[in-house]
Structure 1
Amino acid sequence: MDTKKKKSRVWIWIVGVIVVLIVAALVLIRNAISNASQTVYASYTLSSGSLETTITGSGKLESADSQTLQLPAGVTVSDVLVEAGDAVKAGDTLALLDPASLANRAAEVSSELSSLDRQIASRSTTGSVTAPVRGRIKYLPVAEGDAVLSAVSQYGALAILSSDELMQVTISSDAELALYAKVKVVWAEGEKTGRIAAKTDTGYVVTLSDNGTPYLENAQVFDGETLLGEGTLEIHAPVAVLAAGGDIEDIRVNENDLVYANNVLFTLSHEPDTANYRQALSDRTEKAALYQTLLMYQADPRLLATNDGVVSDLFLKDNTDVAATQDSSGLSDAVTLHLGGAVKMRIDVDELDINSVSLGQAVAVTMDAFPNETFEATVTHISRIGSAAGSITTYPVEVTLTGDARLLEGMNGSAVITTAKVENVLLVPIDNTYEDAAGTYVYTRAEDGTLIRVDITLGLSDGTNAEVTGGLTAGQVIWYVDTSANSMLFPGMNYAERRMNNAQQGGVSSNGGE
């Protein structure tokens, strides 16, 4: 019996403790909610400092430049002495050439040179201009001694032929005439019978024989004794005679002469070089350069590196002829060298930042292979053509590092471009400022504890701090909503709206302060 009473008393104590704990918890929660409903403010004292904005990108190191060495096509390579990736010095032997193949190729090129020399030797500075078609000379404005190019510029042609033996005059007339009807064409010193050749919107085209008919004179057209209209005598099917240059030495024809295709019309002096001569001269220059190269390799049958660098590409194999080429120089690619060291890196810059980048800007580069070092660089090229990926466009920017023998092509790194920097300026944390339609502002505190709005102007910003250009002074204290105090009680609660409302009303809670 006593045992049962003791157990009952124990349970009563346990229930009592639980009730007390629940009541205490409810009191704490009520107090916490009450405290959370009050905005907590903190102070910040303004001071001066430095600020800079940067753009960051990543890339791989590339060589500063490249050079491709060439060899005469058809020459046999007896031995290749390097591989891709080898570092070489200027003067190092890269490959050995077969002397016999060099001699054979030199003989072939020498023969080709002789043939070109004969073509060039046949060059003449005199020539002639012939009739392009059968026709009658109706316009001959040039004189002996005229420069061809000047004459063509002034007159439009050296001569004009009538290729169908007809002249024409176009008249305006509302008379009703049948096609091919005969009419009379009259000019100052003569007349001829013509025919209605075509009807126009306003009249007719009349054709007549070109033999003896003047060019560009005014003429009248009659139907019997009735004047139908008048116009200028023109060539019905004109063919212009032209030439490429030189001086007119002799004129072999006169106006109104009938000539046949290929009849000589003019002889020329100081005639310009023909296309065939110019091509032969160009070919001869290239063949001479190739012959000189072959003779050089006959004297020393080795392909040598001309600069310090790294072998990038090899187009040669042992005991194999140098590949044929379509290049007129007769040379084919043999070895490509990368020169100048691994000093260039290309990074992609967002379209929102590209206008902040300029040539010569300082760049700090860190390499994955040397994480504790910073390498100096500068911006050396900015592409004006971007690449789009979805809704984002980026622009390639090249930065060039100071040479370092440890840096190798293909190494990964990051580049930080300093786009702007200010020193000894007043700074304010961006999170401690506010914005509305009127602008940017902060809060200061009056002696009675109420908040006072102070409008400010900001300059450069790095996303965390901003330069204060007006409205505040160093040492001044500003107040801002301390969201961390409330978030410690109830993590994740949103105080933004209450913060702004309270700040705009100027109220400060009793527990606000530094």
Structure 2
Amino acid sequence: METTQVRQETASQPAAPQKEQKGAAPKVPMPRKKKKWIKRVLALAVLAALLLFLFRSCSGAKNAIVSGSYLPASAARQDLVVSVSGTGTIQPIHSYKVTTLVKGEVLEAPFEEGQTVHKGDLLFRIDSKDVETSIQQAELSLESARLSYDQLLKNQSDNRKNTTVRAAAAGVITKLYVDEGDMVSLGAPIADILDRDNMKLTVPFHAADAAGFAVGQSASVTVDGTLETLSGVIDSISATDSVGPGGTLVRNVTVAVRNPGALSDASSGTAAVGTAASAASGAFAYGESKQVVAKASGELTSLSVKEGDRVSEDQVIGGFDETDMATQIESAAIQVKNAEFTLQNARDRLEDYSITSTIDGTVIEKNYDVGDTLDTSTSSTTGIAYPAVIYDLSALTFDIRIHELDINKIQVGQAVEITSDALDGQSFTGRVDKVNINGTTSNGVTTYPVTVLIDGSPDELKPGMNISAKIVVEDAGEVLCIPVEAVNRGQNGASTVLVAGPGALDEAGNLADSSKLEEREVTLGRNDEAYIEVLSGLEEGETVFIQNASSANPWG
């Protein structure tokens, strides 16, 4: 519109002077009007040129914006190294953060920060008086338990005999204290046995007469009140003399006789040995009066006699369950085991009071010294997490997390390129040391830890430094490549790129019309983070276009 107006004004400029010429005679100022007309023509020409420039500038700007919305890239052959990248933090190959469950005064701490220590070196020795006392007590308990167990084993045959209840003498069962099935304790009475068939009479003889007597020598006994005489033998002679009636010295002599049936412990009599007669009479006693007691404890499983039964000496009259003895031995064995366990625990606790290094390394932290009270339970208030920290700096390592799409590319031994923002311009090398398949899933994506061992343990790298690592998966050599951003992934799995169709480029080869860009399917191969190999679909030198997401097209 503006260009058309300029042209109309230019065509009508000569009309004004012609009118003036028809209506009047020529005037002198004629040359002045001609100069003014020339100026107007020049001004209009400049304005027209300016409008034309602005139009062309706007058209060029539109083409520049369209071209800037897409970045061109050429398909070119280049060396392609396939790699997988990640970040991590430098760590020593081994570290030992000292921990302890005991507390007490530090008696020894023979090391300092920065010092090299070796595996087994003493780091801290803590006062252990209490546990030493516990060890002594445990040793005494173990010794006692072993003695009890050994004694049971030593007496095992006797104990087995003791489970059989036997008559202590020949005679009659006058009293039973237990019944079959009763639980009986050791030493408890079982039965009384009385020998009424044999009687014993103890009488004093003059010491001079008794000195000539001998055990087994024949004697005669006269029963008081009946004057009945019984034959007997000397059963025993007292070893000492005593004062008898009238102040004479006498010695007691016991004579055994058979009971004719009428004698009891209420009867009395006198005795004579040869021509020597007793100095006085004495009381009769039954031949045996014994009590059978339990020599074992437990259930009395059998009892074969009743009161009034006659028994012979050593006759079996009952028995205990032998398993009770076995239970006692087993119980004693358990007590020994428990005592041994208690002692071992006490000795293990004593070892806890001497803390040694588990690795060769350099002391990074020492937080306690001699005289300090070591108590890690107060770490929340003191801020001291560990008594000491030791690093093995003979080798350095780090872990990086690898995406699930790339983990199958990683293998132990692959080379790794390492850089750190803290060490500008420096690079280091390493190798994959371990691939861990224990993945971690977050937001639907699983990553796996890969451990890298750094070559040479360089001094510039310090534990705690953040690094970037590139694992070299494959050196593909020189192949045809395009930028990774140039590839579009379709829903059907096909890969395409944008190339210029007819009318897309201007005469200078710049992109003039993005609507004329065409999609072309390509077959892709290996890639690194920036470039991807093209196996088919493009030729070397062809241009692909990458949509610049940061650009906007105001022309629509």
Q: TM-score, normalised by structure 2?
A: 0.44
Query: Quick check: which has more Rg, 1 or 2?
Result: 2
